[in-house]
Structure 1
Amino acid sequence: MPDDLLRHVIGPTPYSSVWLWAAIGLILLVCAWYIGVFVLTAPRRAIRELPVLGAARAELLRRRSARAVRTIGNRYRSGDLSAAPAGAAVSRELRAFLQSVTGVQAQYMQVEAIAASDAAAAAPILVELTDIQFNHHSALDAGTVSDATEELIRGWT
């Protein structure tokens, strides 16, 4: 074989680094998938007990609920809502927040039962919201009660 043909003979080509990064990306994607399935299917109590994830979830719930209550209060102040519907909306949002944070079925409980549960700190505000919602001659202001509700939600621990 002449020496001039040896320049056309080469060794095996190396693997491309794209395959390495594709494999790493797929492994990370599968790990994220399993974590997502765990978080979405775990009981809420189990998520609350996880240190970082439970705290992040609680903070997210506080912010979302406080923003919703503030929006309802602003709609009442602007005249879009009257006192009774504003009180009902704030009560509904507060009860949903209490159920998400404490696990107490606050959406379906009487105020007296809530006062005897883990959500007892919210009972005075729920009494005021009930008065606004069902007493058309109430002296309470729905805007003031919505501010107090927002403050309670933001300070909930």
Structure 2
Amino acid sequence: MTPTPPLVPPFTLDTAIAKVRAAEDSWNTRDPERVADAYTPDSWWRNRSTFIQGRAQIVDFLTDKWATELEYRLIKEIWAFGDDRIAVRFAYEYHDDTGRWFRAYGNENWEFNADGLMRTRHASINDVALTEADRLFHWDRSGPRPTDHPGLTELGL
């Protein structure tokens, strides 16, 4: 059995793709503490027009996010990578407390430290209202996207 390579810089195409999938799987747990552990203690984010510094603020931000973005389901796809940086595109679906569905589209630029923890995250995101019939992300309410569920490219996104 071949050991799994560590998901630390410098990235190869395979480790960058694995890092993106690991991030997707983590975010799909909707567990703010688990997600925050993938970032440096002093990590810096720009998420839309919100600026966040450090794990405690990440936990607070994600706790609020998932209290309003219900049944959140995310798919990420690698766009480009370098030694210690990865660019991704993503889409996620969620509904609000009135039952209205949305799909958010975006791009993220990530920078990692030598241990593979993300130290910088820049996210640009736009939301589009959906009907129930327009939804494309169908899997268990919490947890990773099944391996047989199509990705963004296969879904035509």
What TM-score results when the alignment is normalised by the length of structure 2?
0.27
* Larger strand fraction of residues: 2
What TM-score results when the alignment is normalised by the length of structure 1?
0.27
**Rg larger in structure:** 1
